[in-house]
Amino acid sequence: MFSLTQSSKSEFLDKARQAREERKGHKDKEKSAIHIQALVRRFLCRCRLQKQIRQDVDDYFQASETGTSKKNALSIFKIARKLLFVYRPEDKVRFEKLCRAILASMEVENEPKVWYVSLALSKDLTIPWLKQIKDVLWICCQLLKKLKPDILQDNKMITLYLSMLVTFTDTSTWRIVRGKGEALRPALMRICENIMGHLNQKGFYSILQILLTNGLARTKPSLSKGTLTAIFSLSLRPVIAAHFSDNLLRSFLLHIMSVPAVVSHLSVLTPECMASMQTHDLLRKFILFLSREEQCLDICVCLEGATHFAYLAT
């Protein structure tokens, strides 16, 4: 009788354990199903949102092209924020239109509300605007890295993205600083320096080096005078802004002056750039920088073997 009771008890405990495991299994399956459903719903919701945002962007540019709506700085800022939120490589055409809209706004005469850069003076929008232009310019850099100067369509895109970089790393072309706006120049120049510092941290000089190499390291240079001037100006601006600091001189030497025959191409295609080098006494600064053994060794270690010859030839 005792053994029978013990057996019944064991059987009861086994059934209870199995029931618990079954309930736990059902709960786990239910949780998994809910989790999968949530992921699918989130994915579909995100797809719908991205599709709607892209449609809004397309509608904005279409309305601008047909003249049914007038672009101003704030509307460009808002549409740029939407595009950057969903930006993917397949949005290159939309991004191109955004860049053209921004540049076009900077060319309008006597309409401060249209100038994209005017938002930098807005108390509420200064920081968001600064972040946005940094993001836009870095996308320009990433696209430049993939473009080939010898391809006509790519060359047009190179001109566009370089124009963006040239425009927003110096205030000289900004209409907002003309006349009474001259007092704003120092503050706006600091914004430009902030932008250049951000780009440098992300790898700006490496991008310029790739672009120069693609366009110059060939039998016949595929970079035009204007493009080469823009690249050289962009490479020199951070150095000047940093008052020829060792860190920026190092980047300039490593990524710009090491491009094969760059000085030869500059002297032939853009003598103005060579004059700029002379004005800033760059060659003497380079020699002084490299005269220090530690820095010279650092440059030599960073450069590839074949590049040493190009560097020495320069």
Q: Are residues 182 and 242 in the same domain?
A: no
Residue 51 has pLDDT above 80, yes or no: yes
- Same domain for 309 and 217? yes
- Same domain for 174 and 271, yes or no, is no
209 and 196 housed in the same domain: no
Residues 159 and 289 in one domain: no
Collapsed DSSP state (helix, strand, coil) of residue 259:
coil
Residue 74 CA to its chain's centroid (Å): 21
User: What is the rounded average pLDDT of the residues 5-22?
Assistant: 74
Q: Is residue 33, in this structure, part of any structural domain at all? A: no
Residue 271, CA distances (Å) to 203, 276, 278 in order: 27, 9, 11
pLDDT digits (tens, 9 = 90+) for 193-225: 999 999 999 999 999 999 999 999 888 889 999
Neighbours of 280 (CB within 10 A): 14
Q: Which of 102, 250, 244, 245 is nearest to 165 (CA)?
A: 102
- 61 with 182, same domain: the answer is yes
- Ramachandran region of residue 244, left (φ > 0), alpha (ψ -120 to 50) or beta? left
Domain limits at 100?
41-202
Do 232 and 176 lie in a common domain?
no
Domain limit, last residue, from 145, 179, 202 = 202
How many domains does the structure of the chain reveal? 2
Domain-located, residue 46: yes
pLDDT at 309: 46
Question: Which residue among 202, 224, 253 closes a domain?
Answer: 202
- Categorize the per-residue pLDDT at 305 as very low, low, confident or very high, splitting at 50, 70 and 90: low
290 in the same domain as 175:
no
In-domain check, residue 5:
no
Whether residues 104 and 90 share a domain: the answer is yes
Phi-psi region of 220 (alpha: psi -120 to 50; beta: other; left: phi over 0): beta
C-alpha distance from residue 212 to each of 55, 169, 203, 218 (Å): 37, 19, 15, 11
